[in-house]
């Protein structure tokens, strides 16, 4: 019997790799911001080096562009993985989902709704995937989903504040303050990236078990519940 579920393991591996690259670029951004901070302190003390300033601006823009491009790629791949994970739950016919499968992509693009619904769908993916494995009730706790969403929202809010501060900076002191704030925000964004990687990895482990359990006869699946529990 052909497995009606779609293999999501390739997508999970791809998005995890993308997020690791994103984390590395964010670390490079922190190093670049520290170098900029040192340069700004030199400028503030009257030691002005125009060549260093030009080099700094080029480096900052290059890293910023690379990070933005990776964010776009990460968003696309994450939603692809996210939607397939929810779609597979619908295909099992074993669980009642809170929303239609289309919301797993659409919810991210609707203002205000995107503050809550993706989190609710991710909770569905986490708990219902475990439930779908032959009615498994002994589940792995989903605290990681709450932490992931809280840090994700915090990093986005702080990033928006950082952008506003940076666009209004008019003096060297302003630039120093915004650069320090950028470094703090970057650490929070790295925490968000690492939590996302961990959550995808843990969810993928459960997904793989569901994928394989679905192709087993019910009797055999029930005998293997101990092996399925994570």
Write the pLDDT tens digit of every residue in 178-220.
999 999 999 999 999 999 999 999 999 889 888 887 665 544 4
Write the pLDDT tens digit of every residue in 166-179.
888 888 889 999 99
Give the three-class secondary structure for 66. helix
Q: Return the closest-CA partner of residue 155 out of 124, 189, 180, 187.
A: 189
Per-residue confidence (pLDDT) for residue 230, from 0 to 100: 39
Confidence grade of residue 98 (pLDDT, cut at 50, 70, 90): confident
- The chain-wide mean pLDDT, for the chain, equals 87
Instruction: Kindly state the average pLDDT of the residues 39-52.
Output: 85
DSSP run (H or E) holding 62: helix 50-92
Asked whether residue 137 carries a pLDDT value surpassing 80, the answer given is no
- Residue 55 falls within a domain, yes or no? yes
Instruction: Kindly state the average pLDDT of the residues 48-66.
Output: 91
- Residue 163 falls within a domain, yes or no? yes
- Residue 1 falls within a domain, yes or no? no
- Residue 82 falls within a domain, yes or no? yes
- Residue 4 falls within a domain, yes or no? no
Per-residue confidence (pLDDT) for residue 1, from 0 to 100: 57
- Residue 2 falls within a domain, yes or no? no
Q: Return the closest-CA partner of residue 132 out of 60, 78, 207, 203.
A: 207
The tally of domains found in the chain comes to 1
Q: Where are the alpha helices (DSSP H) in 93-217?
A: 103-106, 117-132, 143-168, 172-214
d(CA 181, CA 190): 14
- Domain range for residue 41? 9-228
Residues 6 or more apart whose Cβ sits within 8 Å of residue 104: 79, 82, 83, 85, 86, 87, 121
Q: Return the closest-CA partner of residue 77 out of 11, 26, 13, 122.
A: 11
Confidence grade of residue 147 (pLDDT, cut at 50, 70, 90): very high
């Amino acid at each position: 019997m052909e497995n009606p579920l779609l293999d999501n393991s390739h997508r999970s591996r791809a998005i995890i790799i993308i997020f690791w690259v994103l984390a590395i670029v964010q670390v490079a951004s922190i190093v670049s911001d520290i170098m900029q901070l040192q340069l700004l302190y030199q400028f503030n003390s009257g030691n002005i080096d125009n060549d260093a300033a030009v080099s700094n601006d080029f480096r900052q823009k290059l890293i910023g562009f690379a990070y933005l491009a990776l964010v776009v790629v990460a968003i696309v791949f994450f939603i692809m993985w996210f939607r397939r994970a929810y779609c597979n739950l619908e295909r099992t016919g074993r669980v009642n989902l809170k929303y239609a499968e289309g919301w797993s992509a659409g919810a991210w693009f609707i203002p205000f709704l995107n503050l809550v619904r993706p989190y609710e769908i991710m909770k569905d993916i986490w708990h219902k995937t475990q439930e779908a494995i032959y009615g498994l009730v002994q589940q792995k706790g989903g605290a990681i989903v709450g932490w992931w969403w809280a840090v994700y929202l915090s990093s986005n809010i702080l990033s928006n504040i950082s952008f506003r501060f940076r666009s209004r900076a008019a003096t060297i002191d302003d630039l120093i303050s915004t650069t320090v704030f950028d470094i703090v925000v970057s650490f929070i964004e790295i925490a968000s990236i690492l939590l996302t990687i961990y959550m995808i990895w843990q969810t993928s482990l459960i997904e793989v078990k569901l994928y394989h359990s679905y192709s087993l006869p019910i009797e055999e699946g029930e005998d293997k519940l101990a092996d399925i529990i994570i």
